[in-house]
Chains A and B, each alone.
Chain A
Amino acid sequence: MQVVWLSSSLALRDLQAFILHSCSMQMDPKLKKTKDSSSNSANSPDSTHSSFPFPDEVLERVLSLLHSHKDRSSVSLVCKDWYNAERWTRTKLFIGNCYSVSPEIVARRFPRIKSVTLKGKPRFSDFNLVPQYWGADVHSWLVMFAKVYPFLEELRLKRMTLSDESLKFLATSFPGFKALSLLSCDGFSTDGLKAIATHCKNLTELDIQENGIDDFGGGWLSSFSENCSSLEVLNFASLSSDVSFDALEKLVRRCKSLRILKVNKSISLDQLQQLLVHAPQLIELGTGSFQQELTPWQYEDLETAFSNCKNLQALSGLWEATSLHLPVLYAACASLTFLNLSYAALQSGELAKLVAHSPNLRRLWVLDTVGDKGLEAVGSSCPLLEELRVFPADPYELDLHHGVTEAGFLAVSHGCRKLHYVLYFCRQMTNAAVATIVLNCPDFTHFRLCIMNPGEPDYLTNEPMDEAFGAVVKTCTNLRRLAVSGLLTDLTFKYIGKYAKNLETLSVAFAGSSDRGMQCVLQGCPKLRKLEIRDSPFGNAALLSGVEKYETMRSLWMSACNVTMSACRLLAKDMPRLNVEVMRDEGSDDRQADKVYVYRSVAGPRRDAPPFVLSL
């Protein structure tokens, strides 16, 4: 038996290379079938395989250093021993689609999970395209977790439904529970939060973002016990009702490890100042309302409080912020890497002054009230900028004088050559501008352009925007996520299929001319995982051309396209490991499949589908 000492400082990449090179590996062809029957060997990890130089203990020790979900998946496929070693050492579970697997299957495979991330509804549910009561209820998962993972510490949910009862169950079933993060979830109320605050004595994280929540008042915050001093993350920015400032202040005071605090609008400026005095160690701050009549002393105190926050990297909130109070931030701006102004309708001058003080910005979110001029200022002041998101303040107003244009985007691309993530809502764009933008910034990994009028052409040439997205995919070889808009023909999709070899997520709306478009994408993008399409002329031929492809993807969404029930049934019949679900719109033809959701699953068809979801 060989004894190998491994330094814990060994870089992960080196570690992987070491493991992979020093063993003679065989891909076990029987492995995939043993996945479900792994319970047979659950209690006895195999003793040393003759071709392995390492005993299991070493293998497990090494594998426990692996954290990346993708790496772990690769490791588990090497051979049966590695599969077992990996399952025993995995502590973090990531499930990108809660219906792709069942709680039972998960429980059988992984005995030692401490942290779970679960995602539920398709992304278009954010835009009201998925009816209420669609599903993705977390409760059955919680019941299983309580049985098999009583030592669960972290739960992160995205687009899941959970009730107050589920939250109460969660709060009382896991004595060591530490971190709860809810993003875009629905079905619960502040009563559920109360249960968490009351029962989770070791809570380090409570992060509530953008949920469809019934707000019955801020009393939940007062339910934190006076002994609770372990909070590191507290984010209740998206809740609307008042909390007891007294309770909040006391909480902040005793939680010395608090590093992320995001309060809601009910917290005023002078209250904020009092909080900051107790928590100068904050790394991320979300302010409350940023508008209040302040005396000169209060103003000065606030300024001082901000300048004492030497570790501040991220700033958000800033509701109703105006030029009157923004200067209190200037001292803190020097260290900022993330500035989220997407709820503050700033004008160009106000933004210009802010970013002038923030040379270290990596990420910036703004409303389009800042205009092209504001974005010019960003281009000159923030050379390190990597991510820009510009949201529309008036999404339904089609007056062209509102918001930002191609000029703003161009200005940023000239000054911020490291830009790799953009989300840009605008009303006009040109092919030429986009071509220049990607020439300036060829490293885009995420390019999400939303020209808000469906089917809008290049406003100068009146041509489709095909060449714009063609330029994007040709130039940005690292592109992983793309959202297209404007007037687009099949040519856009031919370009995507031909050039976007690293593309993982594609969002399409009101685009394309024929089935050929979608076919090009399905045939050409080897790494495609998520494809979501709405209101585009892709039909059965397009849907069925991806028959082989969908099992390699997480999911496909098609709504208001030209797909019929018969094609969906055919797909379902041919591919038993795919779940094909259809939802029909009120009053539509029986043959039309208005909303189609296709995803791979080892758990079979959903057992909890509501009547309006047809599982084929």
Chain B
Amino acid sequence: MLMELELGLALPNQTPVDIKRHIKQKRESAEAFDNGEIENKKLCLLLWSGQPNEEEDDRRGSQRTDNKRINEEENIIVGWPPINSMRKELLHHHHQQYHGGNWIARFPGRDNNNGARNRMSLLVKVKMEGVAIGRKIDLRLFNSYQALKHTLLHMFSKYLKIDRNGTEYTVLYQDKEGDWLLAGDVPWETFMESVQRMEILRNDS
């Protein structure tokens, strides 16, 4: 049973066209929508972009329709709901402690932006061993390795039966110099500055 990770809100039937258009502008693939779909589809407040693009070697045309629902990609709506960074950060720590770190937030303040300071988003490709289609995620949504790994495994669990504990999987990343390293060894900020792409391997392979 696929767990609906994407947080959804249903659009009303009488959405003024302009609202739709404005939220549309935030998306990377507006083509995924046509008017008929919008009524029934959930407009996702928080998603990762997983649209395969031209660079992907293993992209298959036939997958497209299947993935349309999974790959609805909206960028997170920046700065919404309007809560200031300080409050978000404090709530995040609270959640990490008491709810297993599942809370995903827009990156607050300057402490976390060191490497990614001038970039509006930090999209990296993630491939999972055994899964044909890679995904793209915005690393700025995360604050820790734990949250990232948890989310990645959850994301890929749609394709493969995955042990949710994640103990059987290793997360690797490729840094700026092209070397493949184990995720988790360096401080999160350093990781954010150098990560180019990621890969998840099964430990028994």
Contact = CB atoms under 8 A, between A and B. Distances in A.
B64 to A, nearest CB: 24
B84 A184 contact: yes
B110 A455 contact: no
Contacts, number: 130
Nearest to A127: B79
B46 A396 contact: yes
B81 A487 contact: no
Residue of B26, B46, B94, B108 with most chain A CB atoms under a 10 A cut-off? B94
B22 A210 contact: no
Interface residues of A, number: 54
Interface in A317-344: 319-320, 342-343
Contact of A455 (B8, B15, B104): B15
Contacts of B95: 394
Contact of B45 (A398, A462, A507): A398
Contact of A124 (B13, B79, B97): B79
B94 A454 contact: no
B12 A212 contact: no
B85 to A, nearest CB: 7
B50 to A, nearest CB: 18
B18 interface: yes
B82 A509 contact: yes
Given A132-B117, A454-B77, A127 B23 contact: no
Contacts of B14: 457, 462-464
A320 B82 CA distance: 23
Contacts of B81: 392, 395, 425, 450, 452
Given A396-B103, A425-B81, A450-B82, A455 B23 contact: yes
B83 A395 contact: yes
Interface residues of B, number: 49
Contact of B15 (A128, A487, A534): A487
The A interface is mostly helix, strand or loop, or mixed, namely loop
Contact of B80 (A127, A186, A397): A127
Interface string A448-480: 001011111100001110000000000000000
Contacts of B19: 454-455, 487, 510-511, 537
A127 B78 CA distance: 7
A487 B82 contact: no
Contacts of B83: 127, 391-392, 395, 425
B120 to A, nearest CB: 5
Contact of A128 (B25, B26, B78, B91): B78
A393 interface: yes
29 contacts: A127-B83, A128-B85, A132-B110, A132-B117, A184-B84, A211-B86, A238-B86, A320-B97, A343-B90, A343-B94, A391-B87, A392-B83, A393-B91, A394-B95, A395-B105, A396-B7, A397-B7, A425-B81, A450-B82, A453-B45, A455-B12, A457-B12, A457-B14, A487-B19, A511-B19, A536-B22, A560-B22, A560-B25, A560-B26
Interface of B: 7-9, 11-16, 18-19, 21-23, 25-26, 45-46, 77-88, 90-91, 94-95, 97-98, 103-111, 113, 117-118, 120
Given A131-B118, A186-B109, A455-B15, 6 more contacts: A127-B83, A320-B97, A395-B83, A455-B23, A487-B19, A513-B16
